[in-house]
Structure 1
Amino acid sequence: MRLLRSCGFAVLLLLSAGLSAAQWVTQQQLLAEPPALLLDVRSANEYAAGHISGAHNISHDQLGMRLAELTAYRDQPVVVYCHSGTRTRYAIELLEAKGFSHVRHLRGDYLEWRGAGRPVVMGDAP
């Protein structure tokens, strides 16, 4: 059992390491050139407790059912984040599989955004 957990962790590390530099967006890049869509794939409660200004919230577990809301962004820059990266990777894979061509991952996700002392907005989506 311990070996299986270790293997799973190694696979997760390999998957996250497999993203090229072009697939990441830094905090500085996000601030300098906001994407057409900033997508927060955390839960609604997490989003309400604090999110990056301008972010649209669709929980990763609802994303497949709500893709129609995002079709206008299919060929535009989309930056995705969650708390620490796991849900973001799932969302990126789903979006790319559905034909979204410019999907990127916010390096460090929300955890590093807050850690850097960047501003956040509290409250539900408008």
Structure 2
Amino acid sequence: MRALIALLAGLLLQLPAHAQVRDIDNAQLQQLIEQGVAVIDIRRADEWRQTGVVPGSRLLTFFQDRAYRVYDIPAWLGAVAREIPPEAPVVVICRTGNRTQAVADLLHRAGYRQVYNVRDGIVEWLREGRAVARVE
């Protein structure tokens, strides 16, 4: 995990700075969803199948395995841009909110002005009994 954070920190330093990422809880996430804000679930497919996902989430894996090896970052950012334009707000979610902190910063530095990190991830969403969509 330290190697991942160091890698992302190095990449982030090379990009222009923007406003900071905002951490949100599930009540705020629900409000943003109701406003039509896109949610990106960055977890792996096996994690989506295990827990389900927040309904309507865009499923864009950032890490290719449990060793937290990152996919090609420019390709991933391109996939995000095809789904969500940089001027639109975006929410990122993972299992517990740890992985999305760095990914949310990456999105900000790549030009996304309104990025929200679900600080407790899908684990807290499930603990609160909120609805999920199953992934096959």
Same fold (TM over 0.5): yes
Q: Which residue of 2 aligns with 1:88?
A: 100
Change beyond 3 A, Cα 1:88–1:63: farther
User: Moved runs in structure 1, 4+ residues, more than 3 A?
Assistant: none
% identical aligned pairs: 26
Give the structure with the higher percent helix: 1
- Residue 75 (structure 1) shift: 1.2
User: Of the candidates 53, 57, 60, which is equivalent to residue 59 of structure 2?
Assistant: 57
Q: Whose Rg is larger?
A: 1
Which sections of structure 1, spanning at least 5 residues, go unmatched? 1-21
Q: TM-score, normalised by structure 1?
A: 0.72
1:32 maps to: 31
Q: Provide the TM-score with structure 2 as the length reference.
A: 0.67
Q: For 1:101 and 1:107, locate their aligned partners in 2 and report how far apart those are by CA, in whole Å.
A: 18
* CA-based RMSD: 2.1
Alignment size in residue pairs: 104
Query: Taking structure 1 as reference, are residues 73 and 36 closer, same or farther at Cα in structure 2, changes over 3 Å only?
Result: farther
Select the structure with the greater relative contact order (CA < 8 A; seq sep ≥ 6): 2
